[in-house]
Amino acid sequence: MAPTLWARQVTIVLAAAGSILLGAAGSAFALGDSPDVPRLVSFGGMCQNCGLAGRRLVGAKFIGANFAGASLVGADLRGSSFIGSNFTGADLAKADVRGASMLGGNFLLANFSDAKLAGLEAHAVLFLNANFSRVTATCIDLSASNMTRADAHEANFQRGNFTHATLINGRFQGASFQNAKFEGANLTDADFTGADFREADLTGATLDGATLSGANLQGAHNLTQHQLDGACEDTRTRLPNGLSGHICSGHGRKRDFTDTAD
């Protein structure tokens, strides 16, 4: 068989009483009818558009794997590892990814809606246009990750770590960031309408064009007037004592009060 065809092979290593090696050529691979994958060790190779919905994949390791478009809806991925793998467009809605770790992976357009992500460590991961709506993600670590244009409305990110993360143009309406860390994060043009930032650390965060209408920033740490001068607020926005906001004419843009009279 030509080497290029073997490159499309997906290898799954299972360990139960001993080690079992299963391989399948092609771009998709099914694991039979059983919802459980006992003591899964690792996934590698290509498995685009795989159907793994509802599977028990506790402790799985995805190393350099291509699972673009894969369905992992409702899958149990607790404690799993995702290292340098491609999950572009993968569907992880309602999946349990608690305590998992991700490093340098690609989750462009991935769907995590209603997933359980508490304790997830995702450092320097690409989440461009990903869907995090209504996720439970307390104590998540998204440091240095790129969440540009992500949709995370009504998500729970309490005590999350967004240090040096990129949230440009993200949609975070009604999200909770209580006690979260945003040191050096870029929140430019993101929509935080009704979001909760109580006790969050906003040291050096960029808020230019960010919408904070109805947001609660009471008790926020290291928030400066200079940061707020670049953002948009309204009469419902709650700010720390001594700071003031700027009323917006629309999402992410301050009302222009410049006198243009001749």
- Encode pLDDT of 167-176 as tens digits: 999 999 999 9
Instruction: For 88-133, write each residue's pLDDT tens digit.
Output: 999 999 999 999 999 999 999 999 999 999 999 999 999 999 999 9
Averaged confidence pLDDT in the chain: 84
What confidence score (pLDDT) does residue 248 get?
74
Would you say 177 and 158 are in contact if contact means Cβ atoms under 8 Å apart? yes
Determine the pLDDT at residue 27: 31
**Residue 34 scores a pLDDT above 90:** no
What torsion, rounded to 10 degrees, do the Cα atoms 97, 60, 58, 89 define? 40
Q: Which residues contact 59 (CB under 8 A, 6 or more apart)?
A: 39, 40, 78, 79, 80
Please check the confidence at residue 15 and state whether its pLDDT lies above 60.
no
What would the mean pLDDT of 215-233 be, rounded to a whole number? Answer: 96
pLDDT of residue 123: 96
Q: What's the confidence (pLDDT) of residue 38?
A: 42
Residue 39 has pLDDT above 70, yes or no: no
Confidence of residue 195 (pLDDT cuts 50, 70, 90): very high
The percent of residues above 90 in pLDDT, for the chain, comes to 75
Largest CA distance in the chain: 86
Q: What is the pLDDT of residue 247?
A: 85
- In this prediction, residue 4 carries a pLDDT of 36
Which tops the pLDDT comparison, 241 or 40?
241
How far lies 233's CA from each of 9, 110, 217, in Å?
A: 53, 31, 11
Mean pLDDT of 133-139: 98
Q: Which pTM value belongs to this model?
A: 0.81
On the question of pLDDT at 58 being above 60, the answer is: yes
Q: What is the rounded average pLDDT of the residues 199-217?
A: 97
The answer to whether 89 and 112 have CB atoms below 8 angstroms apart is: no
Determine the pLDDT at residue 249. Answer: 63
Q: How confident is the model at residue 22 (pLDDT cuts 50, 70, 90)?
A: very low
Confidence category of residue 24, pLDDT binned at 50, 70, 90: very low
Average pLDDT over residues 213-232: 96
